[in-house]
Amino acid sequence: MQILRIDTRDQDAARQIRRLLDKLSPKGDVVSEAGRQRTMEIFGQPLSPRQVVETICGEVEREGLSALLEYSAKIDGWKGTADGGGQTPDEGSGLRVPLEELEAAAENADRKLLDSVRRVRQNIREFQQAILHHTVRLERPGGYLEQRYRPLRRIGICVPGGAAPYPSSVLMTAVPAQVAGVQEIALMAPPTPFGAYHADMLAVCYELGVHEVYRMGGAQGVAALAYGVEGIPKVDKIVGPGNLFVALAKQRVFGTVDIDSIAGPSEVVVIVDESTPPLYTAYDMLAQAEHSPGASILIGWDEAVLDAAVHALSEQISKVERGQLAWESLEAFGAVILVQDAEEACRLTDEIAPEHLHIATANAAALADKISCAGAIFLGNQTPVAVGDYAAGPSHVLPTSGTARFASGLSCNDFLRTNSILHFDRNGLANLAPDIEVLATKEGLTAHRESAMVRLG
């Protein structure tokens, strides 16, 4: 395995780090040879991913259901219809999963799975309820001001389903929305064995009370949620992970609807010192790399510690189910960076602004205080990223590609909209009128000025 090694003392280090960060950006202009051939088969010309998304979203926006079904057939090979009745991709099943099918999946599900879902749902609820915004009222002379929060009416959730099922993504998106008070949740998952035909995923949807589930994926599914098609009312916001085409489609529809983020590959930065067991580090890196694509960046100031971690990684990679995929991700997106000291590790991490930051050092909390930009921070050797991915309470939908410099992880508060309420009596208006008069006059907006002064006589 050839994983990138960078020593920040080298003259070329800054350029190497910049190239690494560029790889993590969802620019939409990189496609494999197989992807190019597939694009030629479907569109008859070598379109970039961004051009593919523009074409698909434009047609779904203009033509509605017919375009959605057409692209589901072309891209996913799905033979379903708007209202078919089968339960496999070959039976002509319907676009919306019937409630009876969701219920049957839950009835036949592994009891251990449902027990875990219930415990995790409670963990998420407790955390999200604790951070939920509430209306604030400020009394003023002769009046009051309020900042009022209300839930979005209807939201859409994207759940991946290409290479593996992701019931955890249902938990980490739907439960925060429910805590916020969202009443209508439409969930889309691709019409694949790991997507909307996966019994565990359907069982989790039913258990959580998410009963509006559609067999659609990719850019065509995002466009259907954003613009609405026959049988699928449009939503107000779209959240959840997906591949490059889903990310670019969310970018395309933003403004028609709100979105959570434009996500790139899943990523982690792991900071280590002599207290970090190499075996732990190996699995911390593999856990992100097995997403494929997934970026794992190891940072430390003790070269022997880094070498031991890489050696453990090479020994363990063949022992995980998705080892080959993890290998490919580590070679494409991984890096081991030797820094001069802990201070430089913190500065570099802030520059990277990773989705996940695992500080696996003896003084983890002290280092965390020096880092501002990360989606979620995991402290110490007993807090792997999997704690946040699956069970703890904060959503695992986090900012990627350096956007943690300005963006935050998904929470219940992202499903609220807010407005300000102002109320004053005549005395309250009189208190504010002198400042209104001065500023409106300076701006030449005399009607603004007079709208206040006329009330005071």
pLDDT digits (tens, 9 = 90+) for 288-311: 888 877 889 999 999 999 999 999
Q: Is the pLDDT of residue 320 over 90?
A: no
**C-alpha count within 13 angstroms, C-beta hemisphere, residue 248:** 23
Catalytic residue among 212, 267, 355, 396: 355
pLDDT at 46: 82
Q: Is the pLDDT of residue 90 over 60?
A: no
Encoding tokens for residue 326?
A: 């993890």
Q: Where are the beta strands (DSSP E) in 159-300?
A: 184-189, 212-215, 237-239, 258-259, 266-272, 294-300
pLDDT at 87: 47
Element of type H or E holding 282: helix 278-289
Q: How far is CA 258 from CA 90, 190, 220, 241, 251, in A?
A: 35, 21, 17, 15, 10
pLDDT at 23: 74
82 burial level (CB within 10 Å; 0-12, 13-18, 19+): middle
pLDDT at 410: 96
Mean pLDDT (whole number) for 372-377: 95
Calpha distance 456→454 (Å, rounded): 5
pLDDT at 303: 95
Q: Is 303 a catalytic residue?
A: no
Q: Is the pLDDT of residue 386 over 90?
A: yes
Mean pLDDT (whole number) for 145-173: 93
Calpha distance 367→378 (Å, rounded): 11
Q: Is the pLDDT of residue 84 over 70?
A: no
Per residue in 353-369, pLDDT (tens digit) is 999 999 999 999 999 99
Beta strands 266-272 and 356-360 are parallel
DSSP string, 39-75: HHHHHSS---HHHHHHHHHHHHHHHTHHHHHHHHHHH
- Residue 53's nearest CA partner among 41, 43, 64, 63 is 43
Q: Is the pLDDT of residue 86 over 60?
A: no
Mean pLDDT (whole number) for 112-130: 97
Beta strands 376-379 and 356-360 are parallel
Average pLDDT, the chain: 92
Q: Is the pLDDT of residue 32 over 70?
A: no
92 burial level (CB within 10 Å; 0-12, 13-18, 19+): middle
Q: How far is CA 94 from CA 83, 90, 372, in A?
A: 4, 11, 47
Encoding tokens for residue 257?
A: 């609807």
Q: Given pLDDT bands bounded at 50, 70 and 90, which one contains residue 92?
A: very low
| 167: Cα separation from own chain's centroid | 14
Per residue in 163-206, pLDDT (tens digit) is 778 999 999 999 999 999 999 999 999 999 999 999 999 999 99
Please state, for a pLDDT cut of 70, what percent of the chain lies above it: 95
Q: Is the pLDDT of residue 319 over 90?
A: no
397-427 exposure pattern, b = at least 16 Cβ within 10 A, e = fewer: bbbbbbbbeebebbbbbbbbeeeeeeebeee
Catalytic residue among 198, 356, 358, 396: 356
Per residue in 45-63, pLDDT (tens digit) is 888 889 999 999 999 999 9
Task: Name residue 254's beta-bridge partners.
Answer: 257
Q: Is 311 a catalytic residue?
A: no
| 273: Cα separation from own chain's centroid | 30
pLDDT at 263: 83
Which domains occur in the chain, in start order? Answer: 4-25+264-392 (3.40.50.1980), 28-262+409-424 (3.40.50.1980), 425-456 (no CATH)
Q: Which residue has the higher pLDDT, 133 or 266?
A: 133
- What is the pTM assigned to this prediction? 0.91
Calpha distance 131→412 (Å, rounded): 8
